[in-house]
């Protein structure tokens, strides 16, 4: 990266950013110089490394987190008109993967304090067509999986974890990856580790793993490396699949990144702790609650702006001052596609809608400096204080705490 780009990066703080070191670069270069650029040995090495980290038997690496969600929906047999319950507060890909399979996403409301899927809302939505629940670990905090597992077992449903935000998190002392029938990760640059683009599903179920391996490879039962090893050219396409393969050089980056994941998570938790301490005196800046059983991986640090504070104005003012806040997310069913296709409407999930009007995601990534964290706190406090419209209103902003 040249000096000009470095200057831009330091003057504007994005909400997320990758961390690449010389070991990562060397690993990718070595893969590029090898005999295998795709379907080679590094794919399996990366799959095993992530599965071992999570404490499960199988990993299936694919080209993106979205591909991983799609592979999971295909493997559990989602088909025409099957219903899958998902939270309203998530990225569109969670719902899209259901639609790709001809299914219908059914949107559950979220808990007001965590913005995680509400088990009470989930159970109220179950019908004869319901086939699965997809729990989204919003912002990096695992959902209440014991409650969701009890519902899934009661009604004979699959439980899938969309853990694209929560690699390395835990619930009740159990790692994400072990809490559902299958668990989906994303390796986009803003996530906990990156392969550029990439994703993975981990599971203890050998049938699901095998189905997803075929699905990522056009529905073909063997890949090129397997045929090379057995000395044959013959292959069979046994079902409809996609080209969702990931490259070896991406997996080389993933293996290298995974070695630093504990350090990355420690950094995210340190930054989150300082944010929470800084904002604790303010009645206008409210961070998300954390369940007592949860250890968040802090993919996002989300706050709600309360009282008479305008989220839209705060968003604009913060970005004008170089703080790259973002908003995660518009409830999925309010996107035009879902309103047209499924006749969804405003009012479907009132808790999620109310939260959407107030939330901001603040910058958080492992490479943030103490000065950058302090700058975010100071700038948000200033923006909030500038919006105070009444001297009686207690919106004095955040206490400025340097990490």
List active site positions. Answer: 191
- Looking at the DSSP bridge assignments, the partners of residue 185 are 200
Q: Are 238 and 214 in contact (CB under 8 A)?
A: yes
- Looking at the DSSP bridge assignments, the partners of residue 110 are 117
Residues in the chain, how many? 403
Token pair for 249: 């050089």
Residue 278 backbone dihedrals phi, psi, to 5 degrees: -65, -35
Upper half-sphere CA count for residue 43 (Cβ side, 13 Å): 23
Token pair for 394: 């207690």
Which three-class secondary structure state does DSSP give residue 160? strand
Nearest Cα neighbor of 306 from 93, 67, 40, 113 is 113
Helix (H) / strand (E) containing 108: strand 104-108
What's the CA gap between 253 and 187, in Å, rounded?
10
Q: Are 114 and 291 in contact (CB under 8 A)?
A: yes
What's the CA gap between 158 and 95, in Å, rounded?
16
What's the CA gap between 165 and 114, in Å, rounded?
14
Integer-rounded Cα radius of gyration of the chain = 22
Q: Edge-to-edge, what's the strand order for the sheet holding 174-175? A: 174-175, 170-171, 294-295
How large is the angle between the packed helices 65-75 and 92-100, nearest 10 degrees? 40
- Looking at the DSSP bridge assignments, the partners of residue 196 are none
Write the CB contacts of 216 (distance below 8 Å, at least 6 apart in sequence). 60, 62, 63, 67, 71, 241, 242, 243, 244, 245
What's the CA gap between 348 and 345, in Å, rounded?
6
Q: Are 184 and 8 in contact (CB under 8 A)?
A: no
């Amino acid at each position: 990266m040249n000096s000009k780009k470095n200057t831009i990066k330091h003057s504007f703080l994005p909400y997320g950013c990758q961390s690449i070191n010389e070991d990562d670069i060397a690993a990718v270069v070595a893969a590029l110089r090898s005999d295998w650029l795709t379907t080679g040995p590094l794919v399996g090495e990366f799959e095993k490394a992530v599965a071992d980290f999570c404490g499960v038997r199988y990993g299936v690496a694919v080209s993106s987190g979205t591909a991983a969600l799609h592979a999971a929906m295909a493997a559990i047999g989602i088909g025409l008109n099957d219903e899958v319950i998902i939270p309203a507060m998530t990225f569109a890909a969670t719902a899209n993967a259901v639609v790709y399979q001809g299914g219908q996403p059914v949107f559950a409301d979220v808990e007001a304090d965590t913005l995680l899927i509400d088990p009470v809302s989930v159970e109220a939505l179950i019908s004869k067509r319901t086939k699965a629940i997809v729990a989204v670990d919003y912002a990096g905090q695992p959902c209440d999986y014991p409650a969701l597992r009890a519902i899934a077992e009661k009604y004979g449903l699959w439980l899938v974890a969309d853990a694209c935000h929560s690699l390395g998190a835990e619930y009740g002392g159990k790692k994400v990856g072990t809490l559902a029938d299958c668990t989906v990760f994303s390796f986009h640059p803003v996530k906990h580790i990156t392969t550029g683009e990439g994703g993975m599903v981990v599971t203890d179920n050998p049938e699901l793993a095998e189905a997803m391996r075929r699905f990522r490879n056009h529905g073909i039962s063997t890949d090129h490396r397997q045929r090379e090893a057995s000395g044959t050219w013959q292959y069979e396409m046994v079902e409809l699949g996609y080209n969702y393969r990931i490259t070896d050089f991406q997996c080389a980056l993933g293996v290298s990144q995974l070695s630093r994941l504990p350090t990355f998570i420690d950094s995210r938790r340190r930054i989150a702790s300082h944010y929470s301490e800084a904002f604790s005196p303010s009645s206008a800046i409210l961070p998300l609650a954390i369940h007592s059983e949860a250890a968040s991986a802090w993919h996002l640090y989300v706050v709600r702006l309360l009282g008479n504070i305008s989220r839209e104005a705060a968003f604009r003012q913060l970005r004008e001052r170089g703080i790259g806040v973002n908003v995660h997310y518009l409830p999925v069913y309010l996107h035009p596609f879902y309103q047209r296709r499924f006749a969804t409407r405003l009012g479907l999930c009132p808790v999620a809608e109310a939260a959407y009007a107030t939330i901001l995601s603040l910058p958080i990534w492992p490479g943030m400096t103490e000065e950058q964290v302090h700058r975010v706190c100071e700038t948000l406090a200033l923006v909030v204080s500038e919006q105070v419209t009444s001297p009686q209103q207690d919106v004095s902003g955040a206490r400025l705490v340097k990490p």
